[in-house]
């Protein structure tokens, strides 16, 4: 009797081990991508080409939508996703908070795709006149650095203005009510405010920021799955090149997702950067400047080394870009 019980116990233990191994294997073969409602990854998801290519490698794709870059990076940090895209500033805050992330690729500059906006009847004519004013922005987002650089360029200090940290929907409401003097925001919210509210652009990113979009992965995933990352970046680049050549088609696809009229969406689409590339020393240096600026302003608690968190693609992959 004891022998039978022992055998049953061993069979149950073996079955549990097999089940655990299957679950672990399934997790290892699933690429979990975080995306936002607007951007190249939305188009890649809709096309379905990534799923087809990765299926040949035995990899499934799982998509999760996030409302903004900081939330997406938190998802990466806690391990709920493996890969995602965000603006240039959120990764700096994430690295400062100890997130185990790697920069994988970037999109070309899009300096017109973010701006400091004013109400249409605002008397303000220059950035210098923002001194002492209330400025709404999403803390830790790409526009945070645009504001810092615009103030520096105008001879003002960051402490010369009053920051009001609000997510885009709340910031727009405050902007419409007149409870803030300016709003620093990105597309498509920027284009919507320009066309729906008559908002005036005081300063966009031209000449002061690049406004790169960065693709990031968790360090463990990128190091263990270089071929998956290679395929992913290739597909992102391909859909980006298609988007650049077909802005009207992109608009038809994205406009219903955003709930915005086609003319507003088209403006945003045309201002975006397309064509993902692996990081160059110049892009790393530009990102380092952001990290240094934020440390000097005490927006992050410690100095950072951006080059230490750059994914190095296999030599054959790097040559192919």
**pLDDT tens-digit map of 104-160:** 999 999 999 999 999 999 999 999 999 999 999 998 888 999 999 999 999 999 999
Q: Are residues 49 and 87 in the same domain?
A: yes
Burial of 259 (0-12, 13-18, 19+ CB in 10 A): exposed
Residue 119 lies inside a defined structural domain of this protein: yes
CATH number, position 242: 3.40.190.10
DSSP summary character for residue 267: H
Q: Are residues 43 and 188 in the same domain?
A: no
DSSP summary character for residue 112: G
Residue 66 lies inside a defined structural domain of this protein: yes
Q: What is the pTM of this model?
A: 0.83
Residue 23 lies inside a defined structural domain of this protein: no
Amino acid 315: pLDDT: 61
Q: Are residues 194 and 240 in the same domain?
A: no
Q: Are residues 154 and 199 in the same domain?
A: yes
Amino acid 70: pLDDT: 79
Sheet with strand 83-87: strands edge to edge: 60-65, 30-35, 83-87, 213-218, 101-106
Amino acid 321: pLDDT: 52
Distance CA 321, CA 317 (A): 7
Angle between helix axes 40-47 and 247-258 (nearest 10 degrees) is: 100
Amino acid 247: pLDDT: 93
Amino acid 263: pLDDT: 94
The CB-side HSE value for 12 (13 A sphere, CA atoms) comes to 6
DSSP summary character for residue 199: P
Strand residue runs (E) in the chain: 30-35, 60-65, 83-87, 101-106, 114-118, 134-137, 162-165, 182-186, 200-204, 213-218
For 175, the domain range is 111-204
Q: Which residues of the chain are under the pLDDT cut of 50?
A: 1-28, 316, 318-320
């Amino acid at each position: 009797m004891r022998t039978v019980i022992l055998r049953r116990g061993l069979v149950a233990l073996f079955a549990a081990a097999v089940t655990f191994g299957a679950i672990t294997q399934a997790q290892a073969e699933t690429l979990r991508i975080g995306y936002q409602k607007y951007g190249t990854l939305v188009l890649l998801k809709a096309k379905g080409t990534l799923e087809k290519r990765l299926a040949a490698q035995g990899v499934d794709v799982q998509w999760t939508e996030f409302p903004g870059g900081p939330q997406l990076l938190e998802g990466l940090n806690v391990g709920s996703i493996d890969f995602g895209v965000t603006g240039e500033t959120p990764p700096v805050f994430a690295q400062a908070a100890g997130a185990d992330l790697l920069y994988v690729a970037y999109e070309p500059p899009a300096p017109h795709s973010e701006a400091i906006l004013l109400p249409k009847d605002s008397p303000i004519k220059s950035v210098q006149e923002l001194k002492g004013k209330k400025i709404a922005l999403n803390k830790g987002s790409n526009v945070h650095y645009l504001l810092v650089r615009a103030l520096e360029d105008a001879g003002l200090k960051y402490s010369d203005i009053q920051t009001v940290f609000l997510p885009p929907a709340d910031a727009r409401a405050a902007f419409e009510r007149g409870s803030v003097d300016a709003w620093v925001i990105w597309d498509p919210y920027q284009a919507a405010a320009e066309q729906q509210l008559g908002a005036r652009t005081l300063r966009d990113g031209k000449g002061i920021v690049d406004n790169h979009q960065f693709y990031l992965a968790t360090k463990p995933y990128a190091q263990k799955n270089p071929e998956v990352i290679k395929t992913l970046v290739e597909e992102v680049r391909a859909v980006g090149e298609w988007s650049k050549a077909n802005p009207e088609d992109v608009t038809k696809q994205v406009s219903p997702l955003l709930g915005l009229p086609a003319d507003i969406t088209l403006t945003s689409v045309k201002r975006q950067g397309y064509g993902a590339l692996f990081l160059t020393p110049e892009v790393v240096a530009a990102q380092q400047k952001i990290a240094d600026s934020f440390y000097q302003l005490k927006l992050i608690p410690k100095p950072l080394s951006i080059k230490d968190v750059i994914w190095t693609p296999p030599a054959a992959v790097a040559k192919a870009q």
